[in-house]
Amino acid sequence: MFKSKRTKIIFLVVDTLILIGLIAAVIVAQTEEVQVDGDQQDNVNQYYSRFIEHEGKVYPVKRGIQTLLLIGKDAMEGRRPVSDIETFYNDDLADFLLVLAFDHENKTVTPLEINRDTMCDVPWLSVNGLVGGYARLQVTMAHIFGTGKQDSSKNVVTAVTGLLYGAPIDHYFTFTMDTVPIINDLVGGVTITLEDDVPTLGPDYVRGKTITLRGNEALRFVRARDVNVIDSNVSRMGHQRLYMNAFINQAGAKMKQDQDFILRAYDRVERFLTTDLTVETVSELINDFYEYEVLPIQTYSGSYSWSEVETAQFEPDAESLWTCVRNTFCR
C-alpha cells in the first residue's frame, strides 16, 4: 500500500513537470537567444542560509534546498469574478496544492501534500495589492484575493508559508482546470480503472470499471466530489492521483510518436498557466527531477468539522504538521 501511494505521487509530480516543460520548450523554440535580467538569475547559493523558528527554537533549513509550490486552481475560462470589483478579486480556489522540495546536496525531491481544506491564516489583499490583514480560512481561499494571476499565486505562497511555520517557498507554478480536457484529448483520451464508486458521475462509474475519459468527462472526474460528505476532498485527491497515473503513460507514448507534441500542447494551454519560473530554472528543475531520488510524500493528519456556513474545514494536527515540515525542510 505504501509503495502504491508513493508511485501515484511520482506520476502526479512527473505529469505536472511535463506541463512546466512545455513552457521551456516553446520559449526555446521561439527565441534564438534568451536574455534574463541579473535579478532574475537563480543562484543556488541563495538557498544556503535559511532558518525556521518553532516553539522558541531555530531550525536550519537544509543546505541547498529549493522549493516549488504547484497550484491547481478551480478556474474555468469566462467565469465571472465573485466580487463587484471585477478588475481585482476573483473566485478561483486553489484546489490542488503540492510543495516539491529539491535537495541539491543530497539529490532528492520531497513532495509535501497540502489538503485544500486546511485552516490557516490567509492574508487578504486590498485593491492596491497590499496585505490588509489576515483571516482564519481554508488555504484554498488564498487565491481569491487578487486578479487571479501573479498576485493571487503569490498570496497562496504567503498562506502556505505561514501554514508551514515559515518554511521557504521559492517558486510557484499555477495551472487551471481548463487544461484537463485539452491535454486529455491531445493524448487520445485517458483510460482508468476506478478504485471506488463515484455516484455523482452516474451509474457507469463503479469500482473496478474501466473507462476511457474524453473531453469534459476527464474534467468531471478530477473535480468530482460529494459536497455533502465532509471529507470528500480526500477522495477527490485520490481520483486526481489515479488520473495522473494513467495520463503519464498516455502522454509518454504520444511524445514518442509525435516529436511536435509538446509544442502543440503548450500552444493550446499557454493562456491557462501562471508562474514565476525563468527558462533556466525550468530547465534545471526538470533535469534535477529526473536525476534525483523522489522520496515518500509527506502528509499530515488532522480533523474535519463543518463551519458556520456549512463548508468543510480541516484543522491540522500541530505535531503532525511540524513533523512534515521538519522532515521536508530542516537539517
Write the DSSP assignment of 194-215 as a string of letters.
-SS--GGG-TT--TT-EEEE-T
Of residues 257 and 198, the one with the higher pLDDT is 198
Q: Is the pLDDT of residue 131 over 60?
A: yes
Asked if residue 173 lies in contact with residue 16, where contact means CB atoms within 8 angstroms, the answer is: yes
* Percent over 70 (pLDDT), the chain: 78
The helix-helix angle for 2-30 and 261-269 (nearest 10°) equals 90
Of residues 130 and 38, the one with the higher pLDDT is 130
Mean pLDDT, to the nearest integer, of 111-138? 91
The Cα–Cα gap between 293 and 211 comes to 32
Of residues 328 and 264, the one with the higher pLDDT is 328
Q: Which residue has the cell 495551472?
A: 175
Q: How far is CA 255 from CA 30, 214, 260, in A?
A: 20, 19, 8
Mean pLDDT, to the nearest integer, of 9-17? 46
Of residues 33 and 100, the one with the higher pLDDT is 100
Q: Is the pLDDT of residue 126 over 60?
A: yes
The Cα–Cα gap between 27 and 57 comes to 44
Q: Is the pLDDT of residue 192 over 80?
A: yes
Model confidence band, residue 46 (pLDDT cutoffs 50, 70, 90): low
> Could you read off the pLDDT of 205-253 as tens digits, one per residue?
999 999 999 999 999 998 888 878 888 888 887 888 788 778 877 877 7
Mean pLDDT, to the nearest integer, of 30-56? 56
Q: Is the pLDDT of residue 274 over 70?
A: yes
The three cell numbers of residue 309 are 456556513
Q: Give every CB contact of residue 97 below 8 A, 6+ residues apart in sequence.
A: 69, 70, 71, 72, 113, 114, 115, 116, 139, 140, 156, 160
| Answer CATH for 2-329 from 3.30.70.20, 3.40.630.190, 3.20.20.70, 3.40.630.10 | 3.40.630.190
- pLDDT given at position 286: 65
- pLDDT given at position 53: 95
Of 20-24, 232-236, 280-284, the least confident: 20-24
Q: Is the pLDDT of residue 7 over 50?
A: no
Mean pLDDT, to the nearest integer, of 266-273? 81
- pLDDT given at position 80: 45
Asked if residue 156 lies in contact with residue 71, where contact means CB atoms within 8 angstroms, the answer is: yes
Q: Is the pLDDT of residue 28 over 90?
A: no
- pLDDT given at position 290: 65
Q: DSSP letters of 105-127?
A: TTTEEEEEEE-TTBEEEEEEE-T
- pLDDT given at position 48: 55
Under DSSP, the state recorded for 190 is E
> Could you read off the pLDDT of 61-87 as tens digits, one per residue?
998 899 999 999 986 554 444 444 445
Model confidence band, residue 21 (pLDDT cutoffs 50, 70, 90): very low
Assign 16 to helix, strand or coil: helix
Of residues 299 and 288, the one with the higher pLDDT is 299
Q: Which residue has the cell 484529448?
A: 185
Q: Is the pLDDT of residue 20 over 50?
A: no
Of residues 191 and 178, the one with the higher pLDDT is 191
Q: DSSP letters of 138-186?
A: EGGGGGGSSSSSHHHHHHHHHHHHHHTTT----EEEEEETTHHHHHHHH
Mean pLDDT, to the nearest integer, of 47-72? 90
